[in-house]
C-alpha cells in the first residue's frame, strides 16, 4: 500500500474538486441517515391512528414529504459526488498516463532494447486503469462508508446502546476476513498483471512480425503458444476471482447474523415494552444501512490491493532514472552547434557485456567535412555514430562537439542539430508528408518537395494516387525497403541539420538510384559535417576521410586512394565489389 503514496501530488493538484466531493458525501449521508428516524416515527404514529385519524394522517403526510425530500436531496448530492470525485479520477488517469509516456521517452535507447514493448503496453493500459480505480471508487466509497457507519452507529446508540453492542458482535470477524483476504488479493493481483504483460508482449510480437510468421508457416505454433499464455492468464484471473468471491458472501453472512441478533433481542425488548415497534423498525433500517459500508469495505480493500499491486509495477519504471539526460555539466546557454566532432580515447561497453564494443577511438571530424565508415558486420560502426547524439554514453575517454564535452550540450539542442538516418528504418502509419515533416516544426511544401527530390522518393510518390498524402500503413508496410530508406533520408534532410549521419541507409537502393541520391546529397552535405556508413565502396569513395573499423577499433584510415595503396581490408573489400560488379555485367 506504500506505493500508493506516489499519487499524493496528483491528488493535491485536484484538491479543491476532491474537497467539494467529500463535502457532498458528508451532506448526502446526513440527509440519508435521518430517513430511518422519520420511518420509525411514522410507524409509531400508525399505532395511534384509531385515536385521531385526521391528525395522524396529516402527520403521516408530512413524514412522507420529508422522506421524499431528503431522499431527493441525498440523490442530488450523490450525483454531484460522482461528478467531482469520479471525474477527477479520470483527469488524474489522463495526467498519469501522459507522465508515464513522458518518463518512458526520457529513457535511454538501451532500456528499450532490454524491455519488451508488450510489457510497457500492459503498464500503460491495465496497470494505470487499476490505479485509476483507487483514485475514484477507492476514495469515494471509503469516505461514504465511513460517514454512513459513523452516522448510523450514532443513531443506533442513541436509540438503544445495549442492542447496538449486540448487533456489533460479528464486526471483529469482518476485520479479520478483510485482512486475510486482502493479502491474498494483493499477491494474486501482481501475478495476474505479470501474466497479462507476457500475453500482450506475445500479441505485439505476433502482429509486428506477421510476415515472418507467415513466411515460416508458424501460424499454428504461435496460436498454440498464445493459447498457453491465455490459459495461464485465465487461471490467474480465476484464482483472483475465487478469492474475491469469498469477500461479499462473508460480508453478507456477518451482517445477516447481526440482523438476526437484532431481530431476536430487539423483539424481546418490544415484548417487554422497552422499545417501540417504530424504534425497532428504525434500528433495523440503520442496521440495513450498515450492510453497504460492510460490503463496500471488502470491495474497496479489493480495489486498493489491486491498485497497490499495479502501482508497485509502475513505480519500478517511474523511479528509474535515465542515465542519459541533462545534468550538472549541462550549459543551457548553448543553443546550437557548428559541427566539429572529436573522439579522444573513446571506448564503449554495453551493459552486462564483458568486452568493449568500441575501443580507444581517436578521431577528429572537422566542421563541414565528410567522414565515411566501413567495416564488417558487428565491427561497431552503428554503435560509434550512436555515441554522437548520445543514444549511448561513452564509458571511457571524451567526446567533444565544437571543442566542448558532449555532456555540456543540452540534450534537446544536440539532437535537434543532428539529422539521423538509422540502419533500421522506421516510419509511422501516417502519410508520406507527415513522415518527412516529422522532425520539423514549420511545415513548408517547398521544403517537402526539395527533400523528396534529393532522396529520389519523389519519383515514386508521383505514381501514388494521393501523392504525398498517401497513408503508408503501420511501419510503412506498403512501401518497399528502398522507398522506406529514401523517405527516411528525406526526413533527415528537411531538418537542414548541422550534422548529418547516414547509417547504411542505401543498402536497399539500386546502384543507379544510389548514384543519383549521392549526387544530390553532395550539395546538401556542403558546409555540413556528414558521416556515412556503408558496405558499398561506391557510396563512400568520394568522402574526405574514410576509416575502417574492425572489432571496435580503427584498423585503417585515409582517403580512398590512400587506402587502396595500403592494400589492406579496404582494398580487399573494393576488389571483391569490383569483381561482383563485373560478374553482374556479364549476366
Give the whole-angstrom CA distance, residue 578 versus residue 26.
Answer: 86
Q: What topology does CATH give the domain 420-496?
A: Rossmann fold (3.40.50)
**CB contact at 8 A, 258 and 165:** no
Phi, psi (degrees; rounded to nearest 5) at 429:
-80, 60
pTM: 0.68
- Three-state DSSP at 360 gives strand
Among 334, 181, 323, which Cα is nearest to 249's?
181
- Please give the pLDDT value at position 583: 64
CATH number of 2-194+241-318: 1.20.1560.10
- Give the pairing of strands 370-375 and 404-405: unpaired
Residue 198 CB burial class (10 angstroms; 0-12, 13-18, ≥19): middle
- Please give the pLDDT value at position 586: 60
**CB contact at 8 A, 570 and 578:** no
Helices (H), 82-170: 87-105, 109-114, 117-122, 128-135, 137-159, 161-167
Q: Domain map of the chain by residue range?
A: 2-194+241-318, 420-496
Give the whole-angstrom CA distance, residue 205 versus residue 213.
Answer: 10
Q: How many CB atoms lie within 10 A of CB 493?
A: 26
Successive 10-residue mean pLDDT values, the chain, 587 residues: 68 83 84 76 65 64 79 85 84 84 80 74 78 79 78 78 79 68 74 79 73 71 83 85 75 76 80 77 76 70 75 79 79 84 87 82 87 84 86 86 87 85 80 82 81 81 80 72 81 84 74 74 78 82 85 86 84 77 62
For residue 346, the cross-strand partners are: 361
Among 342, 345, 386, which Cα is nearest to 553's?
345
Nine-digit cell at 58? Answer: 396529516
Give the whole-angstrom CA distance, residue 534 versus residue 503.
Answer: 7
Query: Which whole-number Å values give the CA distances from 361 to 357, 547, 557, 561, in the listed order?
Result: 11, 11, 12, 23
Among 436, 416, 420, which Cα is nearest to 428's?
436
Q: Write the DSSP string, 231-276.
A: HHHHHHHHHHHHHHHHHHHHHHHHHHHHHHHHHHHHHHHHHTTSS-
Amino acid at each position: 500500500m506504500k506505493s500508493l503514496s506516489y499519487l499524493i501530488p496528483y491528488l493535491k493538484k485536484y484538491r479543491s474538486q476532491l474537497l467539494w466531493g467529500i463535502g457532498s458525501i458528508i451532506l448526502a449521508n446526513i440527509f440519508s441517515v435521518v430517513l430511518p428516524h422519520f420511518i420509525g416515527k411514522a410507524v409509531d404514529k400508525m399505532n395511534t391512528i384509531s385515536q385521531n385519524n385526521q391528525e395522524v394522517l396529516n402527520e403521516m403526510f408530512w413524514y412522507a414529504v420529508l422522506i421524499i425530500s431528503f431522499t431527493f436531496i441525498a440523490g442530488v448530492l450523490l450525483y454531484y459526488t460522482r461528478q467531482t470525485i469520479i471525474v477527477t479520477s479520470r483527469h488524474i488517469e489522463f495526467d498519469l498516463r501522459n507522465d508515464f509516456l513522458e518518463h518512458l521517452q526520457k529513457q535511454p535507447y538501451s532500456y528499450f532494447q532490454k524491455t519488451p514493448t508488450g510489457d510497457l503496453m500492459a503498464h500503460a493500459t491495465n496497470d494505470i486503469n487499476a490505479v485509476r480505480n483507487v483514485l475514484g471508487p477507492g476514495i469515494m466509497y471509503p469516505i461514504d462508508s465511513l460517514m454512513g457507519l459513523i452516522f448510523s452507529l450514532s443513531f443506533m446508540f442513541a436509540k438503544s446502546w445495549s442492542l447496538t453492542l449486540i448487533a456489533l458482535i460479528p464486526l471483529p470477524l469482518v476485520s479479520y476476513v478483510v485482512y486475510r483476504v486482502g493479502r491474498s488479493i494483493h499477491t494474486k493481483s501482481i501475478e495476474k498483471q505479470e501474466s497479462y504483460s507476457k500475453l500482450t508482449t506475445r500479441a505485439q510480437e505476433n502482429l509486428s512480425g506477421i510476415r515472418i510468421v507467415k513466411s515460416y508457416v508458424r501460424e499454428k505454433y504461435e496460436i498454440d503458444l498464445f493459447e498457453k499464455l491465455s490459459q495461464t492468464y485465465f487461471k490467474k484471473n480465476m484464482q483472483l476471482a475465487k478469492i474475491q468471491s469469498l469477500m461479499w458472501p462473508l460480508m453478507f453472512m456477518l451482517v445477516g447474523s447481526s440482523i438476526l441478533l437484532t431481530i431476536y433481542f430487539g423483539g424481546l425488548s418490544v415484548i417487554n415494552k422497552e422499545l417501540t415497534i417504530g424504534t425497532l423498525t428504525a434500528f433495523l433500517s440503520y442496521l440495513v444501512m450498515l450492510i453497504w459500508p460492510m460490503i463496500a469495505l471488502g470491495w474497496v480493500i479489493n480495489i486498493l490491493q489491486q491498485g497497490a499491486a499495479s502501482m508497485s509495477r509502475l513505480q519500478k519504471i517511474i523511479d528509474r532514472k535515465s542515465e542519459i539526460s541533462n545534468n550538472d555539466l549541462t550549459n543551457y546557454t548553448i543553443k546550437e552547434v557548428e559541427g566539429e566532432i572529436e573522439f579522444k580515447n573513446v571506448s564503449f561497453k554495453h551493459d552486462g557485456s564483458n568486452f568493449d564494443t568500441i575501443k580507444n577511438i581517436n578521431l577528429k571530424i572537422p566542421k563541414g567535412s565528410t567522414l565515411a565508415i566501413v567495416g564488417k558486420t558487428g565491427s561497431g560502426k552503428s554503435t560509434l555514430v550512436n555515441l554522437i547524439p548520445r543514444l549511448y554514453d561513452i564509458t571511457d575517454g571524451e567526446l567533444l562537439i565544437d571543442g566542448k564535452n558532449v555532456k555540456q550540450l543540452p540534450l534537446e539542442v544536440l539532437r535537434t542539430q543532428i539529422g539521423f538516418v538509422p540502419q533500421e528504418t522506421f516510419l509511422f502509419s501516417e502519410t508520406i508528408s507527415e513522415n518527412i515533416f516529422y522532425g520539423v516544426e514549420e511545415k513548408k511544401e517547398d521544403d517537402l518537395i526539395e527533400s523528396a527530390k534529393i532522396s529520389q522518393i519523389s519519383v515514386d510518390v508521383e505514381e501514388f494516387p494521393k501523392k504525398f498524402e498517401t497513408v503508408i500503413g503501420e511501419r510503412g508496410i506498403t512501401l518497399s525497403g528502398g522507398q522506406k530508406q529514401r523517405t527516411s533520408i528525406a526526413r533527415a534532410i528537411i531538418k537542414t541539420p548541422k550534422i548529418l549521419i547516414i547509417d547504411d541507409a542505401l543498402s536497399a537502393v539500386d546502384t543507379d538510384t544510389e548514384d543519383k541520391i549521392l549526387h544530390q546529397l553532395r550539395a546538401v552535405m556542403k558546409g555540413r559535417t556528414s558521416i556515412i556508413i556503408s558496405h558499398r565502396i561506391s557510396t563512400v569513395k568520394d568522402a574526405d576521410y574514410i576509416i575502417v573499423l574492425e572489432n571496435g577499433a580503427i584498423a585503417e584510415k585515409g582517403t580512398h586512394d590512400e587506402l587502396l595503396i595500403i592494400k589492406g581490408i579496404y582494398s580487399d573489400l573494393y576488389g571483391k565489389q569490383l569483381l561482383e560488379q563485373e560478374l553482374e555485367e556479364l549476366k
